[in-house]
Amino acid sequence: MTKDPVCGMTVDDKSPHRSTHAGQTYLFCSAACKTKFEEEPERYAARAEGAGDRASRP
């Protein structure tokens, strides 16, 4: 389990909502959070890196 970098919700590793940025895969609770991330990936990736909420596997 990991956390959605946009809303902070816990996300199952099998979530179909995922995006890759700078070589890291991020998981999301919904398509809406994925879209927000893709609009401002640097903002949300920095938040996730600070909290250790990245998914390290594709």
3-state secondary structure of 28: coil
Q: Is residue 16 part of a domain?
A: yes
In this predicted model, what pLDDT tens digit does every residue of 7-42 receive, in sequence order? 999 999 999 999 999 999 999 999 999 999 999 999
Q: Is residue 51 a contact partner of residue 3, using CB atoms and an 8 Å limit?
A: yes
pLDDT of residue 6: 97
Per-residue pLDDT band for 56 (boundaries 50, 70, 90) equals very low
Q: Provide the whole-model pTM.
A: 0.80
10 Cβ contact list (under 8 Å, min separation 6):
1, 2, 3, 4
Per-residue pLDDT band for 51 (boundaries 50, 70, 90) equals low
Residue 39, domain extent: 2-51
pLDDT of residue 37: 98
pLDDT of residue 46: 86
Q: Is residue 57 part of a domain?
A: no
Number of domains in the chain: 1
